[in-house]
Amino acid sequence: MGIAIGVVSTLFIYPKDTEFLGIIRYIDGAAQLLYPVLVFGAAQTMIHFYPIVSNSNKHLLFKYGLFTILIMGLLVSSLLISGYFLLDYENYMYLLLALPLTVMLALVELFKRQATNLQKLAVPTFYEKIIPKVALPLVFLLFLSHYLSLFGSIWVYIFSYIFLMVLMGIYVFKNMQFTFDFNFKPLFAEVSKKSYYQYSLYVFAGSFGSFFAFRVDSLMIPEFLSFDSAGIYNIGVTLASSIAIPATGLFALYAPVVSNYIKTNDITALGMKYRETSKLLFFIGAVFFGSVVVGVESLFELMPSKEKLVQAIPIIYVLGANVLVNMATGFNTEIINYSNYFKFNLQAILTLVFVNVGLNLFFLTQTELGILGVAYASLIAMTIFNIAKTYFIYTKFQILPFDNSFFKLFLLLTVLVLVIYFLPNTSNLWLNVCAKTISFGLLAVILTYQFKLVFSVNEWVDKLLRKFNIGR
């Protein structure tokens, strides 16, 4: 559903005003930069220590996260508001508007992690992935119809996140016992403050660095090019990131499972789950990305805003490959984060901060590639990051996310995409889109099933066949 909403909005709504889209994404980017400061690692720290604290102290981990967000929120708000009177910066008002969004993102992150610990993730994930995707196109339509001003539209977008936070909070509190006792002495009698803050600090630095390593483009493009260019780039980002929606859910779901495998030193089971999940995620991502590759050019030619959309096609290809690389390497971040080697993630991310920011500056100032150069910078950074993490996990745990069937799957789907992409087109654009995307999707599932390359795919297809009393 998230993919469908994102695709429809990107094709029919966002191209109508790419400058407004660029402004919204600039505010969102600023909030994404600031919210790790408010959380200060408390959300992931909660999962890290959850398996080893007593039942009576598990709820205190969550409460301490709320306490952290409150204190850091007051500090960041004071600094930002003071900066408004001290700094002369053209876009500073947008940074102030990012402040309430930052608080909501921090609370949503904490609620999501607590829902993960409670194994009640489906509903919060649904809220998180659907509400913003519904809210933004609605805000767009109200703005384009002149029912809302620019700032009125921004505030409605912010209120959608307040609504999201309230729904997630209600759901989490409904599924846990919560009291207003904020005595944290029992928690820190069981977990040393030094260990807690050390892990929180590393997680915070990693999260903060991740923005500069992978999402700094949302702030750099408006500064070096324009909000309009940022909007066109975001069209590519939206379509490419839609491919990753299944991965987001699986990564969140497996976080406590990975943590438990590591705490119990069950590396054999961890390796099996690592390979199984990597193949599944690569298959899902490759099917979505392959469908985009074989059909997007004809589809965009049919759209009323095709001039804006066509500009985004190279961005979609590069960023789609970027997402696929991340999915193919599985939950390597989670393995490192919940092990004793969590410091490596910080070292890798801080290195990539310089790599990605440097590449962005190079492409934006030394080449004529514009937003395509920014996409290349993101792909290079993500590939280096995932290769480094995969190699590190192998040296420490002797496990890899790949096996022989993974490479067979990669070869099969690559050949299939190339064959269908280069098939002759007809003069009917709708026929091209439907024939190529449906053919690719069906052949990908059938061939993967026949060669038994992904266990989950065979399991799902067999269940479907049994339901209709077909074949096996």
Average pLDDT value for residue range 240-256: 75
Query: Is the model's pLDDT at 183 over the cut of 90?
Result: no
Q: At what angle do helices 42-49 and 92-117 cross, to 10 degrees?
A: 10
pLDDT of residue 161: 93
DSSP state, 331? T
Average pLDDT value for residue range 296-317: 85
Q: How far is CA 103 from CA 31, 36, 66, in A?
A: 8, 10, 11
Query: Is the model's pLDDT at 121 over the cut of 80?
Result: no
Query: Is the model's pLDDT at 91 over the cut of 80?
Result: no
pLDDT of residue 157: 93
Query: Is the model's pLDDT at 398 over the cut of 70?
Result: yes
| Statement: the pTM of the whole predicted model exceeds 0.75 | no
Q: Is 193 within a domain? A: yes
Tell me the pLDDT of the chain averaged across its residues. Answer: 86
**pLDDT single digits (tens) 362-385:** 999 999 888 899 999 989 988 988
pLDDT of residue 471: 55
pLDDT of residue 226: 85
Average pLDDT value for residue range 222-243: 83
Q: Is 243 within a domain? A: yes
Query: Is the model's pLDDT at 472 over the cut of 80?
Result: no
pLDDT of residue 7: 77
Q: Is 165 within a domain? A: yes
What are the tokens at 211? 């923005």
Q: Is 64 within a domain? A: yes
pLDDT of residue 102: 92
**pLDDT single digits (tens) 127-148:** 888 888 889 999 999 999 999 8
413 near 284, Cβ under 8 Å? no
What are the tokens at 272? 């099996």
Band the pLDDT of 213: cuts 50, 70, 90. low
Average pLDDT value for residue range 397-417: 93
Q: Is 305 within a domain? A: no
pLDDT of residue 155: 94
pLDDT of residue 362: 93
Average pLDDT value for residue range 431-441: 93
Q: Is 72 within a domain? A: yes
Query: In the block, which residue shows the tokens 């930002």?
Result: 80
Query: In the block, which residue shows the tokens 């801080």?
Result: 350
**pLDDT single digits (tens) 79-88:** 888 887 877 7
Question: Rounded CA gap, 260 and 199, in Å?
Answer: 17
- Total count of domains within the chain: 1
Q: How far is CA 126 from CA 3, 285, 403, in A?
A: 12, 19, 32
pLDDT of residue 153: 93
Query: Is the model's pLDDT at 50 over the cut of 90?
Result: no
Four-residue CA torsion sign, 276, 281, 284, 289: negative
Range of the domain at 42: 2-263+337-355
- Give the percent of the chain with pLDDT over 70: 97
